[in-house]
Structure 1
């Protein structure tokens, strides 16, 4: 299968590329490199033994995407490209709608023009908002509280409408919880440009001395230690979930949504302590005010993915932390 992978040089995209290519498929990476690095192409090649095709550009450019689809005889699309900072989206919502929603619109127009029928979309558990019950299942009411989450929900709705209009189309929306960790080789991992927006890359940068301390946003949540609780999932488990979704689409059309998580929550302080145990490093932190757009606690009900996709997260919290530290250690020597 030839798979177009948008955002393919990013954190999740690079791991999905490895999983796809290791299974014998071809991955065609498209990325504008706004928050990623082209060196990922060579690292993916080092891991799997052959190089993926790569194009630099924006997925919203219809003619650009159509040309790639034709050139590589694309069979399916995994759409990962998009801005992903909750805090930034609160401050710059128009930027998120322009990039995420309009980018997806252009991609879908290109797919329709070239008769591509299957897409796996990188959605987010953010669309559930502050959970009304736990664990969160796919039927949970949607209550988006920031522009990032709303952009994801808009795209889910677009895909639902398109599936109604085109019965042959298959769309799987994967609602991620909190990806962490890195490939076991240490060659690829979470390496954002600038200041990290997610917890783990910030933790590892503090641990290796690149940053002085970690800000823990909120210590007064109604959780056991007062810090936010999240469902952290190893990025390789997440990447394998995309492969499972593609297999699912080979025999299922229509619109579908699945949570990808572990079904268990860890607090920020628990994550820090787990990382310190695996790395042998101390992670200085300070408790600061809550961050706008965050929720106290969120973790997934993953029964649907288990039964429908035949998928389940298998890697441990220790795997998440040790692989993150291995990646950062290798990165620091480059």
Structure 2
């Protein structure tokens, strides 16, 4: 049997795409998810894409007994950890919930892995650990300085992993600092599906395109950027998912690493709106409003390290991100009808 990989948060937006990428690379993914922020029909959709139903364990990473049972029932060769709360604004309003899940839950997971003798881990980190970076594109050596509780939880988890690997060299850990995942699977069967008003730009634009939201708010047009709006490094979620498979391959050879996953190319808010208008052939209303506190002008990844260590390079551009997102949104509308 192919090596089994436990994917915590495997029914979520990024997790579901990672499950497909693992399957395509010859692994057997095992989903561990509490479905608090994931659709119940994701495993069925994954079965349609993969041609086989994935194993699913409904559980919470804060539940040690449930984690222990998962490792007892499956011969897990490695873990990809994606089960974290991720909304910056919510983390400011609910810091304890973020520390409980993102730090406490992660500590629980590491304990269960150690008890099971499974010491191979791909950890989902974030570019938010850089705070407001001193240089752009931002290298992995940039100082870590969180500007919100979400970013702080990622820094704490990274430091936990540093200490763990120092204490026990048997651990092989890949830390992946994501920039801005966007888009959807080419099948239009899985994609980003926020239950309420989206926190991220592309799903917000997508909901304006469908008419679910009235207009896009552009937070500031007086930044020191080409068109005055904020610039971000968007990476297609399928490229991101493939980065996890490459990370896992390096861990199988005992090569731990910490890398950015992005494209190295930034797009402004207005460029993103224009690209989505091309994908939809629709005019999308927007208004310029005041800057948001804590927003930085530019976030863009320095990507050479991921290329050199993992062989990772993003293959899909902004137009593909927008087209795949729109195909996914239209599929949802047809399904709801």
TM-score interval, normalised by the smaller of the two chains: over 0.9
Distance in 2, matches of 1:113 and 1:195, equals 40
Correspondence for 1:288: 289
Distance in 2, matches of 1:25 and 1:193, equals 30
1:11 Cα offset (Å): 0.5
Native 8 Å contact 2:177 2:261 kept in 1: yes
Correspondence for 1:97: 99
Is 1:11 the counterpart of 2:8? The answer is no
- Number of residues paired by the alignment? 333
Alignment map for 1:43-82 (pairs within 5 Å): 43-82=45-84
Distance in 1, matches of 2:195 and 2:274, equals 25
Distance in 2, matches of 1:133 and 1:121, equals 24
1:193 Cα offset (Å): 1.7
Distance in 1, matches of 2:173 and 2:74, equals 21
Distance in 2, matches of 1:115 and 1:192, equals 36
1:7 Cα offset (Å): 0.6
1:296 Cα offset (Å): 1.0
After superposition, the C-alpha distances for 1:136-163 in whole angstroms (9 at most, x for unaligned) are 1110111211111110111011111111
Correspondence for 2:304: 303
Gapped regions of structure 1 (runs ≥ 5)? none
- Report the TM-score, using the length of structure 2 for normalisation: 0.97
CA RMSD, 1 decimal: 1.0
After superposition, the C-alpha distances for 1:34-62 in whole angstroms (9 at most, x for unaligned) are 21112110111100100111122211211
Is 1:247 the counterpart of 2:234? The answer is no
Distance in 2, matches of 1:294 and 1:147, equals 15
After superposition, the C-alpha distances for 1:68-96 in whole angstroms (9 at most, x for unaligned) are 11101111000001111111112221221
Native 8 Å contact 1:87 1:291 kept in 2: no
Alignment map for 1:124-139 (pairs within 5 Å): 124-139=126-141
Distance in 2, matches of 1:38 and 1:293, equals 34
Distance in 2, matches of 1:108 and 1:333, equals 42
Native 8 Å contact 1:168 1:253 kept in 2: no
Is 1:275 the counterpart of 2:276? The answer is yes
Correspondence for 1:228: 230
Correspondence for 1:327: 328
Distance in 2, matches of 1:305 and 1:53, equals 30
- Report the TM-score, using the length of structure 1 for normalisation: 0.98
1:291 Cα offset (Å): 2.0
1:333 Cα offset (Å): 0.8
After superposition, the C-alpha distances for 1:73-132 in whole angstroms (9 at most, x for unaligned) are 111000001111111112221221111111101111100111111000000001011110
Select the residue among 93, 107, 110 that pairs with 1:108. Answer: 110
Select the residue among 198, 203, 206 that pairs with 1:204. Answer: 206
Q: Which moved more, 1:56-65 or 1:6-15?
A: 56-65
Native 8 Å contact 1:87 1:292 kept in 2: no
Distance in 2, matches of 1:216 and 1:66, equals 46
1:253 Cα offset (Å): 4.7
SS at match of 1:332: helix
1:220 Cα offset (Å): 2.1
Distance in 2, matches of 1:82 and 1:333, equals 30
Distance in 1, matches of 2:147 and 2:84, equals 18
SS at match of 2:76: coil
